[in-house]
């Protein structure tokens, strides 16, 4: 992989407090550096899921210290690899990936994630499709499983914001 220049600063959406969309701001902040078992992703697309909406309202089930970057899933290209990533880190270098993160989120130009949270994308999958390929499918699988356990054959999804 030819090294990609990594800027010092990036644009990121931050959540200043858990008061909804009015607490979101676009700011400049340092580009994170990948730590052990992490990769740095140049983010191309990030989804906005109901889980993200609940998170910025403080109703998701956990809160991160603010300010924090929201965005549970997205996609992009791995441009740097931290230490102790082993074969998987070397494989992911330069690859397009779908990813989730437990650190600052993906509503930023760059994000770090652990190697096991970065999924290589097939060439037939666009980065926009990749950005929606983790959270929503798992939600659908869980809903179908719950419906089957309850003896139901239909699932309806609604949300109130």
User: So which residues are the catalytic ones?
Assistant: 60
Distance CA 105, CA 68 (A): 8
Judge contact between 130 and 60, C-beta under 8 A.
no
Q: Which residue has the tokens 């930023």?
A: 108
CA distance 96 to 58: 31
CA distance 136 to 49: 8
């Amino acid at each position: 992989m030819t090294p990609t220049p990594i800027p010092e600063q990036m644009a990121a959406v931050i959540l200043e407090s858990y008061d909804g969309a009015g607490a979101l701001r676009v700011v400049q902040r340092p580009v994170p550096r990948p730590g052990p078992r992490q990769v740095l992703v140049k983010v191309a697309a990030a989804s906005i899921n109901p889980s993200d909406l609940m998170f910025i309202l403080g109703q998701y089930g956990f809160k991160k210290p603010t300010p924090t970057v929201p965005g549970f899933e997205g996609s992009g290209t791995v441009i740097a690899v931290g230490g102790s990533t082993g074969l998987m880190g070397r494989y992911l270098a330069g690859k397009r990936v779908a990813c989730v993160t437990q650190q600052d989120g993906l509503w930023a130009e760059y994000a770090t994630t652990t190697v096991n949270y970065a999924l290589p994308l097939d060439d037939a999958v666009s980065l926009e499709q990749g950005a929606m390929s983790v959270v929503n499918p798992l939600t659908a699988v869980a809903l179908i499983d719950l419906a089957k356990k309850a003896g139901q054959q239909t699932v309806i999804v609604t949300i109130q914001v």
